[in-house]
Amino acid sequence: ENGSGTARQIVGECRLSMLMFAHLASAAFIASRSALLPTPATHPSAAATAGTRACVATAPRRGGEAVMAGMPLPAGSLVALATPMTSTGEVDIATLRELLRWHKAEGTDGVVILGTTGEASTLTSAEKEEVMAATREEVGGEMAILVGTGTISTEATIAATKQAKLFGADAALVVTPYYVKPSQAGLVAHFTRIADAVELPIVLYNVPGRTGVDMSVETTVALSRHPRICGLKDATGDNTRAAPMRAVCGDDFRLYSGEDAAAREYVLQGGDGVISVTANVAPAAVAAVMASGRAGDAAAALAADGPLMALHRDLFCEANPIPVKWALHKMGRMGEGIRSPLSPLGVAFQPRVAGALQQAGCIASEE
């Protein structure tokens, strides 16, 4: 069948179900708050907050009936999924479905779509809807689905997060506003407004290298008190933050590394897992690293991670997702398409990425 056509049909059915959804969907969520969150010193214990975090979402399915998406945020390996495109730059929904099925078979614990790796900023609204609909149909209820919804604007982020909920997301990944460099108080107000406005679990995303602002540990702790703010993707590369945040935020607040090269140690220091670029090409191997790390087996985690170290480095030899999309094309997993202003991987870097793929066992060695 034609994957793009099927996705459009799903999108249409989702749109038709939205009015019914507004009447049928119901869940017990905390009332909206107008003030900032309490100061970190008043943080309740993990035992006191256990079971109160509103980390399930209500979502529509085909046919119009409302159902609980309800997949909890997983520990382990979550792939920051690249969006397949044809050589002419069109989103390839059929290949997206194949990738999702592959990740499910390989043991990936969750999928993050429409993030930086997914080139979300270059996709149209209709294309985003197709990606969300196809993902929900392929792995909904079997793998947790996180949708990147963060923008520079609080109101635009709220709108995008509401849309993600309507298309069946289990959670939203919301990056700190980029370029404008808000203060820490501004970050608290921004994320609180989003969490108050949308009945969907929120995972904070701190990536100062791309946004120009670093969300402090204190700000993260303050935001963790909100029942719908359920986790953090930490792409600072500072693994010393994991243990203090685990001690204060409690075990029900998910801590994900956003740095593949640092993820093993992050988990050994108390993190829950990784939102991984490397998992695009080596899903089973990344899942094995995370499983050993979460079990506290440092030696086994290192043994599993060793063959991946070149990938962790070389998949960032040019701006993400340029190298990983070339790698997936090299593996025969997707076409060569990538959207402007990004361009295909430079010829000088191609042997380097190919060598990393060979070292990880993703492709055969070239004689």
**What positions carry a catalytic annotation?**
205, 233
Distance CA 326, CA 310 (A): 15
- List all residues 6 or more positions away from 263 whose beta carbon is below 8 Å from its beta carbon: 257, 271, 273, 274, 276, 289, 290, 293
Rg (CA), the chain: 20
Distance CA 83, CA 100 (A): 11
- The alpha carbon torsion through 216, 220, 223, 226 (nearest 10 deg) reads 180
CB atoms within 10 A of CB 29: 16
Distance CA 199, CA 57 (A): 7
Distance CA 220, CA 325 (A): 32
Closest by CA to 363, choosing from 335, 327, 326, is: 327
Question: Is residue 167 a contact partner of residue 132, using CB atoms and an 8 Å limit?
Answer: yes
Residue showing tokens 């406005």: 197
Q: What is the DSSP letter of 228?
A: T
Distance CA 111, CA 104 (A): 9
